[in-house]
Chains A and B, each alone.
Chain A
Amino acid sequence: MTLEQWLYTATQNLVPKAAQKVREDIEFHVETAMRRYQIEGKSELEATEFAIRDLGYPKVAARGFEKTYLTKSELNLLASDQETIANKIWLSIPWFVAFIYVTITNFSHSVEFWNLQPWQFSVFTFIITIQFLINGIIARKYSLKTGSGLI
Chain B
Amino acid sequence: MNLKGSLSTLILEVLSHGPSHGYEIATSIKRRSAGVLDFKEGTLYPTLHTLERDGMLTSETDIENGRTRRYYKLTEKGSKTLQKSTLEWERVSGAISGILGGTA
Contact = CB atoms under 8 A, between A and B. Distances in A.
Interface of A: 6, 10, 21-22, 24-29, 31-33, 54-58, 60-61, 63-65, 67-69, 150
B53 A68 contact: yes
Contacts of B47: 64
Given A21-B49, A65-B49, A150-B53, A33 B42 contact: no
B22 A55 contact: no
Contacts of A28: 21-23, 64, 67-70
Contacts of A22: 45, 49
Interface size class of B (residues with CB under 8 A): 20 to 34
B50 interface: yes
A10 to B, nearest CB: 7
B61 interface: yes
B91 interface: no
Contacts of B53: 68, 150
A55 B47 CA distance: 14
A54 B49 contact: no
11 contacts: A22-B49, A24-B61, A25-B48, A26-B42, A56-B39, A64-B47, A65-B45, A68-B49, A68-B53, A69-B49, A150-B53
Contact of A68 (B23, B40, B50): B50
B34 to A, nearest CB: 18
A26 B48 CA distance: 12
Most chain B CB neighbours (cut-off 10 Å) among A25, A61, A68: A25
A150 B68 CA distance: 19
B22 A61 contact: no
B41 interface: yes
B69 to A, nearest CB: 5
B33 interface: no
Of listed A10, A28, A31, residue having the most chain B CB within 10 A: A28
